[in-house]
Structure 1
Amino acid sequence: DFKSLVETRILLELKTVRLAAKRRTEEDLAKMEAALESYKEKVLNNEEAVQEDLLFHLAIAQACGNSTINRMMLIITPEIINNFEKYHVCDKDQGPKRIKEHQNIFDAIKEQDTQLAKQMMKDHFNELYKYCYNI
């Protein structure tokens, strides 16, 4: 169900972002930045950006250097996309806020600040967590 999916995603990504901040390479940063730019472009053009949003998160998972976590993210991502679209989780009016949150996550990973990266991801998921428990 959607709540289980969200809980699993949050648990995975809070660990993933810390590992990514610790282990990321320049190549990983380039992939994250490209995904972030694609997301920004879609949002600023007022287009659906659910897939671009998740591509940014998948780039973080890849950067964590843990192939099992990366595979788990790849497994749950299609279902996340379906549910986000079904429940209109990523409303377009939240776009500018989400861009800032993604930028904060990216910056913390780039600076290799594991605690800040985790906190920025936690902040990013705050609305999703609230939303999930109100449906």
Structure 2
Amino acid sequence: MEIPVNQFEKINVASPSDLIIEQIKNQISSGKLKHGDKLPSERQLSETFGVSRTYVRESIRKLEFYGVLKTYPQNGTFVADSGIDTIEGLISNILKVGSRDFFSLVETRLIIEVNSARLCAVRRSEKSLTEIEEAVVNFENEVNRNNDPYEADLAFHTAIVRGSNNKVLKSLLEIIIPDIISSYTEYRMCSSTRELNNTVKEHRSLLEAIRKQDPDEAAELMNKHLENVMKFARNQF
């Protein structure tokens, strides 16, 4: 008798950044890394782990956000002055957040970006408006060239979050960006020509709402912009 395929479960492979975080946790737990100890440089860690500096930087950024590490310009990155139990608990939470749950990822993105669009419409400067305009053009160019537009799309959304002038919202988005890229590539979101052309139009509408500083319209458009992604995510789980 052939057993049904749904008896098996999807294998979740840990990302390099999560494996780096796990190693740092083990170093702290074993006492090899103590409060105030300085980590090797990104280049040295990259060579030791055998991964690109992007993964090292992502791991450090996550650990900094949760207060496990502290980076001082020109001096380097150090283990924060927190209790071992606190640090271990924080790292465990980071690794749980890092495990890919597409629906939770999209839901979190919706919360961050709708509020960012509203704030950006109120607080945007001429400099941030120019950055958003350039991101709109870059995305459209990538679509017209038939290139992979995912990173250009995220650059547009990141520009809006930066324009909100809220550092916490910006940090939260930066933490989930690597998982957003991985998930969108895996699920091939917005890959048809029609979907991509609709996205171009929606980006331009968002830009205009922010340009005329209409927070309600900007928030509504962002919510609508991500609505189809939410519907897709619900259907996956």
Q: TM-score range by the shorter chain?
A: over 0.9
Equivalent-residue separation in structure 2 for 1:111 and 1:124 (angstroms): 18
Partner of 2:222: 121
Output one character per residue of 1:20-75: Cα deviation in whole Å (capped at 9) or x when no partner. Answer: 00000000011111111110001112221000000000000000000011111111
Output one character per residue of 1:84-129: Cα deviation in whole Å (capped at 9) or x when no partner. Answer: 0001012132111000001111110111000000111111011101
**Structure 2 residues not aligned, in runs of 5+:** 1-100
Counterpart mapping for 1:55-134 below 5 A? 55-93=155-193, 94-134=195-235
Equivalent-residue separation in structure 2 for 1:33 and 1:64 (angstroms): 15
- Secondary structure at the aligned position of 2:165 is classed as coil
Task: Please tell me whether residue 52 in structure 1 is matched to residue 116 in structure 2.
Answer: no
TM-score normalized with structure 1 length: 0.97
Cα RMSD (Å): 0.8
- Secondary structure at the aligned position of 2:235 is classed as coil
Equivalent-residue separation in structure 1 for 2:159 and 2:221 (angstroms): 16
Larger RCO: Structure 1 or Structure 2 (Cα < 8 Å, ≥ 6 residues apart)?
Answer: 1
Partner of 1:17: 117
Equivalent-residue separation in structure 2 for 1:126 and 1:91 (angstroms): 16
Query: Would the aligned equivalents of 1:35 and 1:59 in 2 still touch at CA under 8 Å?
Result: yes
Equivalent-residue separation in structure 2 for 1:22 and 1:116 (angstroms): 11
- Secondary structure at the aligned position of 1:107 is classed as helix
Equivalent-residue separation in structure 2 for 1:37 and 1:86 (angstroms): 25
Letter of the 1:53 counterpart: D
Equivalent-residue separation in structure 1 for 2:105 and 2:227 (angstroms): 15
TM-score normalized with structure 2 length: 0.56
**Structure 1 residues not aligned, in runs of 5+:** none
Equivalent-residue separation in structure 2 for 1:36 and 1:109 (angstroms): 13
Q: 1:40 aligns with which of 137, 140, 144?
A: 140
Count of residue pairs the alignment pairs up: 135
More helix by share: 1
Partner of 2:7: none
